[in-house]
Chains A and B, each alone.
Chain A
Amino acid sequence: AQKVTQAQTEISVVEKEDVTLDCVYETRDTTYYLFWYKQPPSGELVFLIRRNSFDEQNEISGRYSWNFQKSTSSFNFTITASQVVDSAVYFCALIMNNNAGNMLTFGGGTRLMVKP
């Protein structure tokens, strides 16, 4: 069975602070795929990143960076110099390799509040 855990249900920071959102996953597959999505108050899930289990390079995209560590089954997301527009719920999700339907298994989400 697969599982995604986002232990931080809510984080509050002041604008320009850095913030890290934690994601820990469980899967028996050796090949799997990890995703992060952002859900602003409007409700639409916005795709941020996809990572394959065989590629452990960290990735940076502007103020966003992701740290993938297979040894600890974690795929953490850092926002540098946070802005009010970053306020949203962020979801980490997993697809296992033997999942022919590409069903996404989501964590419970982390609500990020960035205060001015």
Chain B
Amino acid sequence: DTGVSQDPRHKITKRGQNVTFRCDPISEHNRLYWYRQTLGQGPEFLTYFQNEAQLEKSRLLSDRFSAERPKGSFSTLEIQRTEQGDSAMYLCASSYHRGVADTQYFGPGTRLTVL
């Protein structure tokens, strides 16, 4: 049983470039979440999907951030026109939704550095 995987693990980019991260959830999980973690802080929620539907996106940090989960399996998080303040760890989690408060299982994260 494989866990949540994320690709790439590290990304270095120049300010103004676009970046895209991929997350593959645990296979039977119907919910997928994105979080951002800055140095020395706890993760903060960005968005989540149930199957292919994006049910919450108001906490995406700006309109430069967008996420998709086109077939209800893997998901991508894109940041357009990156800024130095976007440098952080981007974490993906998945869960099987049975009711309230699913347990979320996290991937290893993608560490983004914007120069």
- A→B interface (CB under 8 Å): 4, 31, 33, 35, 37, 42-47, 50, 52, 91, 93, 95, 97, 100-109
Chain B: minimal CB distance from A44 (Å): 4
- B→A interface (CB under 8 Å): 31, 33, 35, 40-45, 48, 55-56, 59, 89, 91, 93, 95, 97, 100-109, 111
A37 contacts B56, CB within 8 Å? no
A97 contacts B100, CB within 8 Å? yes
- B44 cross-chain contacts in A, Cβ below 8 A: 106
| A46 and B93 alpha carbons, distance in the complex (Å) | 11
- A37 cross-chain contacts in B, Cβ below 8 A: 106
B106 contacts A45, CB within 8 Å? yes
Supposing A93-B42, A104-B43 touch, asked if A47 and B104 sit within 8 A by C-beta, the answer is yes
- B93 cross-chain contacts in A, Cβ below 8 A: 45
Known: A4-B42, A35-B103, A46-B106. 17 other contacts (CB 8 A): A33-B100, A37-B106, A43-B108, A43-B111, A45-B91, A47-B105, A91-B43, A97-B100, A100-B55, A103-B59, A104-B33, A104-B35, A104-B43, A105-B45, A106-B42, A108-B42, A109-B40
Chain B: minimal CB distance from A68 (Å): 15
Supposing A102-B31, A103-B56, A104-B43 touch, asked if A43 and B89 sit within 8 A by C-beta, the answer is yes
Supposing A43-B111, A44-B108, A95-B101 touch, asked if A103 and B45 sit within 8 A by C-beta, the answer is yes
Supposing A33-B101, A106-B43, A108-B41 touch, asked if A101 and B56 sit within 8 A by C-beta, the answer is yes
A103 contacts B106, CB within 8 Å? no
| A47 and B26 alpha carbons, distance in the complex (Å) | 14
- A33 cross-chain contacts in B, Cβ below 8 A: 100-101
- B103 cross-chain contacts in A, Cβ below 8 A: 35, 47, 50
Partner of A44, one of B33, B56, B107: B107
- A97 cross-chain contacts in B, Cβ below 8 A: 100-101
